[in-house]
Amino acid sequence: MKPFCFVLLPFGKKRDENSREIDFDRIYDEIIEPAVTGAECEPIREEAADGIIRKPMFERLMLCDYAVVDLTTANADALYKLGIRHGMRPYSTVLMFTQSARLPLDFAPLHGLPYRLDMRGVPERPAEDSYALAECLNACRNPSEHSPLFRLVCDWPRRDVARLKTDEFRELVEYSPRLKDQLAGARLAGPDAVRAIERELDVAGADPAVVIDLLLSYRAVKDWESIVGLVERMSPVLARSVMVREQLGLALNRLKRPEAAEATLRALIDEHGTSSETNGLLGRVYKDNWEQAAKARRPIEARNWLRKAVDTYLAGYRADIRDAYPGINAVTLMEMDDPVDPRQTELLPVVQFAVRNRLASKMQDYWDRATLLELNVLADDRQAAEQALADALATVREAWEPETTARNLRLIREVRSSRGRDVRWIGEIEAELERARNAVPHRGDGA
């Protein structure tokens, strides 16, 4: 079996001290992963688990043969974990950071490797930097102590990790990907298959990454009841994480429990502040309340819910204008007001800029393309909308994605039809989205 290399690196895009956005996923894909595999190691990237420090993370940190730690953002979490690694392992830890980073300490003497980014925050010379990292990992096979603890305290005891513990760790690392592969297959089969996997799992004691994957699998098959039940069986620490509580709020709303959903998401905002994701989910609660009141012909109540939804989405967009999701929902619902909310005119180009900026800086994503489609429909640009539709359909992953987009376009079509406008072409786009939804492999219709 190849030796394991634990990779401690932020996920997604983060900003440095100069407010430059850095794409850490590309750093992993273009520099780190090729270097680790080139050094004949098996990479294990730290799972995104909402900052939760749990037993599986400590096992990876202490028991992996090698570790690569990125210190570009030099946050307290990364430095704390680096201290744990240096306390356990006298060598086999490689530090990385971008050349422009201002670090709180001079890490260059501690086996530090600078790499280069361009102005967009993506690797400038990925092949060269990946080769340099592979050389550092290969050099660790002829170890010299670079942990400051072991270098400065000569009689510090060298921890001899029991072979049994190491073997158990290796079995766990191999088990988790197998279970994730099983979940991927279960998502295609439907809710019963996902539930069958959970029955074989000790939810409270399982690797948080596996539990989160199980949670998202239930979301993919629309098994909202099982999401609520799973959260109740999770460890208290994981159940209190932001991501889990957001998904709980989503599930409660889909189960027609809007008061419970609102309370869950409101509590998150009170504790952690406004965010594009949490506000986007809360905005959806109010949006559904608006639709129900409108169908029941309660116009005053409906208008109150509509404005509450718009304000909630708008607050989420202002929290992070790079995330177009709450922005597009805000401008779409502004169309529903009578007269149309005047803020829509100035907000439309801002949201469109955010979407185009995302499309220029990463691989195609369904929601980016679908958002551009919706913006073009709102702008009454049929040709651009049809082009965006083609791009969106090429990136569909889950059946609920085109279903959600079709639902939003239906709202626009219906309100514009009531105002006497010709909207037949919007209906044609809706029909294409419905066909795409039906073409995605069946995953069951959930609880």
pLDDT at position 146 is 62
CB 22 within 8 A of CB 36: no
66/141 Cα distance (integer angstroms): 10
Q: H helices of 273-336, where?
A: 276-295, 299-319, 324-334
182-199 pLDDT, tens digit each: 888 998 899 999 999 999
Q: Where are the domains of the chain?
A: 4-161
- Please give the distance of CA 18 from its chain centroid, rounded to a whole number: 24
For residue 315, what are the CA distances in angstroms to 277, 311, 330, 436? 11, 6, 9, 32
331/352 Cα distance (integer angstroms): 11
pLDDT at position 153 is 60
For the chain, 447 residues long, the average pLDDT of each consecutive 10-residue run is: 83 76 90 93 72 61 82 78 78 82 56 83 92 90 63 56 44 62 88 94 80 89 96 88 93 97 97 93 97 96 97 95 89 94 93 86 76 95 96 87 93 95 96 90 44
For residue 182, what are the CA distances in angstroms to 91, 313, 399? 36, 36, 20
404/392 Cα distance (integer angstroms): 13
Quote the pTM value: 0.67
330/52 Cα distance (integer angstroms): 32
Structure token pair of residue 382: 């049929």
Structure token pair of residue 405: 């987009």
189/48 Cα distance (integer angstroms): 26
pLDDT at position 16 is 72
> What is the residue-wise DSSP string for 390-409?
HHHHTT--STHHHHHHHHHH
72/98 Cα distance (integer angstroms): 6
Domain topology for 4-161: Rossmann fold (3.40.50)
First to last CA, the chain: 42
- Helix, strand, coil percent values for the chain (each to nearest 5): 65, 5, 30
**Residue 337: Cβ within 10 Å count:** 16
Give the SS3 label for residue 337: coil
Residues in a beta bridge with 7: 45, 68
